[in-house]
Amino acid sequence: MALNKLRRMGKTRSGRETLYHQVAHSIQRQIGQGALQVGDKVPSVRLLSRHHRVSVSTVLQAYFWLEHRGFIEARPRSGFYVRVPYDTLVPEPKYLERKTTPKPVETGSVIQEIIRMLDDPSLVPFGAACPAPELLATNKLNQVLRRAVNRYPAHSANYDFGPGSSLFQRQVARCSLAYGCNFSPEDVVATCGAIEALNLSLRAVAKPNDIIAIESPTYFGVLQAIESLGMRALEVPTFPKEGMCLDELEHAIRKHGVKAVVVMPNCHNPMGYVVSDEKKKAFVELTARHEIPVIEDDVYGDLAFDGRHPTLKSFDRNDLVLLCSSVSKVLGPGFRIGWVHAGRFRAEVERLKFITTIASPSLSQLVIGSFLESGGYERYLRSLRIAFSEQVQSVSKAIAKYFPEGTRITRPRGGYLLWVELPKNVDALRLFHDAIRENISILPGTIFSPSARFKNHIRISCGYPWSERLDRALLTLGRLCQQQAS
């Protein structure tokens, strides 16, 4: 990636580089100019802290940024060293420029069967997209829960009708400033997780047999929602780094009469990319010209490694973007609390919410709202981002080491998911079953496409801290892949 492009990525909304990007780019320039070569040790954290007059944590953030992009590597008890560029070792998955037509989604029982198999604590957890329990703010949330129960003993004696609890709405609205929005609390409709938010949004903007444009690959929950509502899906080719191809999207809108688009521009599941601000703006302008509603899934948005990025919603001037999110990937999936800002479709989403589940759990809204109100959320997110960045890096290195030649790996900019393209003659579904027999869970790529594409792709979750157990499991997966590839 060109240096000037990297600089643009490291700028704040005001156009200035963040401190850690300034530090990172100074090291990157030295590598590019040959002053630091492969195998050289980079300056110590404390030395660079003094030289740039920044904190140690800022230098560490810069080094993590460089490490994630493959410029340097950490060696235990030794420091950071310049490495062979990661791109030259394992390339990214290829962009698949395939023409598709709208079709009914027929996932059948395949996805449910696969998900049931993942619900086994004895499996090495590369399948389910869940963070390790020890990384979550469980103790703090338990303290908040105890205080909330004492303060509001009748917390669940009534329904939080309509949009939800005022405390929860207010805190979601406050957090919206971090991703370029400025919500009113009344704009926020509480839901039972992001998947209900997505379902309600689809029902509000489209009807059975309508065509919904989706990324390819896309999160399989989107496919299940489209299938359950009797709608048709149209796969739009999607770049591993840049997101949905806008030329192909416009062609699809003109040719097929697309009624809505579902996208995940920040920390995409399964590819991990973050779409640039320029492309987000162009995306919103394109769909607005055609009066196409956009359902934006931002469930991983808080987990971008270099901090929060603007949402599509922040560029929306026509109230056509329905922004959906939840706390499942950040605070805990068991709370089952999400939300949607539905723009001009808010009244219809509220109506559908009432006739579907009446209200969202009062206690969960109270706990999450109180936790956000108490402060410390951004500090918690910073530690979580560092942990996931390191875990993604560790798993990526092991895949590069153990998997057969021809393997390709994404370079996520957030979240904790890896999309892995295997050699062509490796069958991902067969690999899934072979891995289960070895007590290892993965997800086959076919469930991320309504046309069962990506037969030689898998999704790997990096939600758990690196360990010898994970390393052995990836060694085993590599052997299983090699057996099919040879």
Share of the chain above pLDDT 70, in %: 95
pLDDT tens digits for 149-163? 998 888 888 888 779
The predicted model scores a pTM of 0.85
Q: Could you tell me which residues are beta bridge partners of residue 460?
A: 418
Q: How far apart are CA 159 and CA 112, in angstroms?
A: 31
DSSP-assigned letter for residue 41:
B
Q: How far apart are the first and last CA of the chain?
A: 33
The values of phi and psi at residue 180, to 5°, are 85, 10
Q: How confident is the model at residue 10 (pLDDT cuts 50, 70, 90)?
A: very low
> Mean pLDDT throughout 33-44?
86
Q: How far apart are CA 188 and CA 203, in angstroms?
A: 17
Structural domains of the chain sorted by starting position, each given as residue range(s) with its CATH number in brackets: 3-88 (1.10.10.10), 100-134+379-485 (3.90.1150.10), 137-376 (3.40.640.10)
Written in H, E and C, the secondary structure of 126-173 is: CCCCCCCHHHCCHHHHHHHHHHHHHHCCCCCCCCCECCCCHHHHHHHH
User: Strands (DSSP E) along 198-274, which ranges?
Assistant: 211-216, 232-239, 243-244, 260-263
The values of phi and psi at residue 471, to 5°, are -60, -45
Tokens matching residue 428: 């991902």
Q: How confident is the model at residue 433 (pLDDT cuts 50, 70, 90)?
A: very high
> What's residue 452's pLDDT?
87
Neighbour count for residue 472 (Cβ, 10 Å): 14
Q: Which residue has the tokens 């005001």?
A: 14
> What's residue 123's pLDDT?
95
| Cβ pair 175, 339 in contact under 8 A | no
Question: Could you tell me if residue 332 is left (phi over 0), alpha (psi between -120 and 50 degrees) or otherwise beta?
Answer: left
Neighbour count for residue 154 (Cβ, 10 Å): 7
pLDDT tens digits for 102-141? 988 887 677 888 888 877 889 999 998 999 999 999 999 9
User: Strands (DSSP E) along 376-446, which ranges?
Assistant: 408-409, 417-421, 440-441, 443-444
Q: 3-state class of 410 per DSSP?
A: coil
DSSP-assigned letter for residue 445:
G
| Cβ pair 186, 159 in contact under 8 A | no
Neighbour count for residue 381 (Cβ, 10 Å): 18
> Mean pLDDT throughout 359-378?
94
Q: Please report which helix (H) or strand (E) contains residue 339, including its range.
A: strand 338-341
Q: Which residue has the tokens 């910073």?
A: 382
Query: How does 79-109 read in b/e, with b if 16+ C-beta sit within 10 Å?
Result: ebebbeebeeebebbeebeeebebeebebee
| CA 371 centroid distance within chain | 22
Q: How far apart are CA 388 and CA 396, in angstroms?
A: 12
Which residue, 414, 411, 391, is CA-closest to 471? 391
pLDDT tens digits for 209-228? 999 999 999 999 999 999 99
pLDDT tens digits for 387-417? 998 899 889 989 998 999 999 999 999 999 9
Q: Tell whether the model's pLDDT for residue 2 goes beyond 50.
A: no
